[in-house]
Amino acid sequence: MAADRATRIGVLALQGSFREHMTLLARIPGVQAVEVRTKAELESCAGLIIPGGESTTMALVAERWGLIPELQQFAAQERPIWGTCAGLIFLANRASGTKEGGQALLGGLDCTVQRNYFGAQINSFETLLPAPACLPRDSDPADTFRAVFIRAPAITETGSGVEVLAEYRLTKEEQAVQQRDSVVVAVRSGALMATAFHPELTQDSRWHELFVDMVRKHAAERAAAAAAAPAPDPAAKLGRVPTRPADLPVY
């Protein structure tokens, strides 16, 4: 596929694991990965990944570079966005445990996120979780994926329109403290997707493939809608208001 026809996926490159996302995107045929730091770079993309990192730092850098209004506009246009770890916090409508300046910037996901749900950096861990049906699967019906949690948030509440893609079953000790058996760690709603874990820190590109598929479907739907829209009225474009034919002259 020619570069000018490739699907352009942006990765917000202010801080965090954006290089790792770029590496996995480069493995997907027909994708052009773009590091996003400016308005022009953002506008050139059909979809955006907000990587894991320090949400407070990313918020401050985005504000300093004047990117917050551009990110909000990108989200308002319903272009696909995927947030991982800190990116999940940015996309959630409600967040607890956030620092000043580190709360959600974009919103759109009807869910409540708890920052650092699993504890500090020393409590980071990885595990195997069941792959959701929408994730490209291997031939093994008991397919799983590797989930890396680093000072990770978790989704403690979801709205009715949010699709749960993955859950983590808590240990007995965690169940006693949290008063629940499991916690949601991946969701999708419309053009938005979010994961509490870091797929970019593995060699498994299936989550990236899933997001690229979301972006391509969204682009196809927009193109179809544009093709089906009625042609603009040339007179209206020139600022003229159509009127009835002029009366015939009287002799």
Catalytic pick from 20, 41, 70, 200?
A: 200
126 is catalytic: no
Name the nearest CA neighbour of 107 among 124, 95, 117, 115: 95
β-strand pairing of 154-158 with 109-114: antiparallel
Do the annotations mark residue 54 as ligand-binding? yes
85 is catalytic: yes
Catalytic pick from 20, 198, 208, 209?
A: 198
63 is catalytic: no
Do the annotations mark residue 115 as ligand-binding? yes
Length of the chain measured in residues: 251
Do the annotations mark residue 53 as ligand-binding? yes
Catalytic pick from 85, 111, 174, 208?
A: 85
Tokens, residue 57:
């730092």
Distance CA 88, CA 109 (A): 9
Do the annotations mark residue 17 as ligand-binding? no
Binding-site positions for L-glutamine: 53-55, 115, 150-151
Q: Residues annotated in the binding site, as ranges? A: 53-55, 115, 150-151
The set of catalytic residues is 85, 198, 200
